């Protein structure tokens, strides 16, 4: 990057800082480009040359941001030039009083001078008062937006729509007139349905067996080295009413209710699972049991249809024999 020689031609250099609140605003809207255009127009008015543009797509309540950190590093490197830092509006710098003044101090300490087409910065008492008021308003807007977003999300859950991350086996799909709704994500949805129904019917006697069933499926995402799944994930899935077509948000005071999405299992099956989870724990299954009996929990009894269990039996001669049997 070529920086104009300030002393030679008296051209003041400047950098532009633009920020939007999230990546969606960055990709679906033109907020960053609009801010940059306005800042460049102001740079021409102030007769300075823009040498770099720094951007962020994250909350204004945070001080440390990739774009901001990169800008502060740039300012320190070019401290002797005392660059202008142009922002479109005070809220683009921060949306919190403490964050605002922390960044003001960091920018000044790095050798930069903050300017904006929206506000005149100064050190006199009146200017500081106005800046404080503007920063306070920006913080209030951020808090108000958060409250309104939470209220809208809560109301949506009350109407049976899930508003958080889609659980394994589901994905969000846009539906005209209804927004984003949960739909089955195959083939994972069918695998999870088979596993949950298997636990309810005692095809899988323990959570460990259910865990191994999921681990045996290449399509099921693993979260531990060696292709294993965390025990907590299995428990969370067994407790998740979404799989039965129901929603709830206890932290928001929204009780269990029928959802607007298709369940992977019936609510009766879900209730059976909850009952099983409260039963006295059974002895853990040996880790190598499936190596001796690969069809355990997969083969079914020809008479009653229940899954067969397996064991070793010792004959009178002392020889051990493997058996599949039904209880």
Q: Quick one: pLDDT at residue 90?
A: 86
**Same domain for 74 and 179:** no
Q: Quick one: pLDDT at residue 143?
A: 84
Question: Looking at residue 175, which CATH number applies to its domain?
Answer: 3.90.1750.20
The residues near 122 (Cβ < 8 Å, ≥ 6 apart) are 128
- Cβ atoms of 283 and 276 within 8 Å: the answer is no
Section 175-190 average pLDDT: 93
Q: Among 108-117, 233-242, 277-286, where is mean pLDDT lowest?
A: 277-286
Residue 153 placed within a domain:
no
**Same domain for 24 and 130:** yes
Q: Quick one: pLDDT at residue 46?
A: 92
**Same domain for 322 and 252:** no
Question: Looking at residue 79, which CATH number applies to its domain?
Answer: 3.40.50.1390
The residues near 79 (Cβ < 8 Å, ≥ 6 apart) are 110, 111
Q: Quick one: pLDDT at residue 6?
A: 46
**Same domain for 217 and 310:** no
**Same domain for 326 and 238:** no
Q: Which residue has the higher pLDDT, 271 or 303?
A: 271
Question: First vs last Cα of the chain: how many Å apart?
Answer: 78
**Same domain for 310 and 221:** no
Residue 252 placed within a domain:
yes
**Same domain for 128 and 89:** yes
User: What average pLDDT is seen over the chain?
Assistant: 86
Residue 102 placed within a domain:
yes
Residue 231 placed within a domain:
yes
**Same domain for 205 and 132:** no
Q: Among 141, 156, 190, which residue terminates a domain?
A: 141
pLDDT in tens, 96-111: 888 899 999 999 999 9
**Same domain for 85 and 197:** no
What's the number of domains the chain is made of?
3
Determine the structural domain holding residue 245 and report its residue range: 170-285
Percent with pLDDT over 90 in the chain:
57
Q: Name the one residue in this structure whose structure tokens are 């077509």.
A: 245
The residues near 253 (Cβ < 8 Å, ≥ 6 apart) are 154
- Cβ atoms of 254 and 158 within 8 Å: the answer is yes
């Amino acid at each position: 990057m070529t920086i104009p020689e300030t002393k030679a031609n008296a051209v003041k250099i400047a950098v532009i800082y633009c920020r939007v609140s999230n990546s969606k605003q960055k990709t679906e809207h033109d907020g960053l480009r609009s801010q940059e255009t306005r800042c460049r127009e102001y740079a021409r008015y102030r007769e300075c040359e823009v040498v770099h543009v720094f951007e962020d797509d994250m909350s204004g309540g945070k001080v440390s941001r990739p774009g901001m950190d990169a800008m502060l590093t740039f300012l320190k490197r070019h401290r002797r030039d005392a660059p202008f830092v142009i922002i479109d509006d005070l809220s683009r710098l921060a949306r919190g009083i403490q964050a605002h003044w922390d960044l003001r101090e960091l920018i000044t300490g790095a050798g930069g001078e903050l300017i904006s087409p929206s506000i005149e910065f100064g050190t006199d008492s009146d200017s500081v008062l106005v800046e404080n008021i503007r920063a306070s308003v920006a913080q209030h807007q951020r808090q108000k937006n958060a409250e309104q977003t939470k209220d809208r999300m809560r109301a949506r859950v009350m109407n049976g729509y899930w508003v958080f991350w889609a659980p394994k086996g589901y994905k969000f799909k846009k539906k005209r007139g209804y927004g984003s709704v949960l739909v089955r994500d195959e083939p994972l949805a069918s695998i999870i349905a088979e596993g949950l129904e298997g636990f309810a019917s005692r095809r899988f006697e323990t959570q460990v067996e259910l865990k191994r069933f999921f681990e045996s499926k290449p399509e099921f995402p693993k979260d531990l080295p060696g292709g294993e799944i965390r025990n907590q994930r299995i428990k969370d899935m067994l407790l998740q009413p979404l799989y039965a077509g129901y929603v709830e948000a206890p932290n928001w005071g929204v009780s269990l209710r029928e959802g607007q999405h298709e369940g992977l299992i019936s609510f009766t099956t879900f209730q059976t699972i909850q009952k099983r989870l409260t039963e006295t724990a059974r002895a853990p299954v040996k880790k190598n049991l499936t190596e001796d009996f690969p069809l355990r929990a997969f083969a079914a009894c020809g008479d009653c249809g229940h899954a067969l269990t397996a064991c070793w039996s010792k004959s009178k001669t002392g020889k051990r024999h493997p058996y599949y049997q039904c209880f």
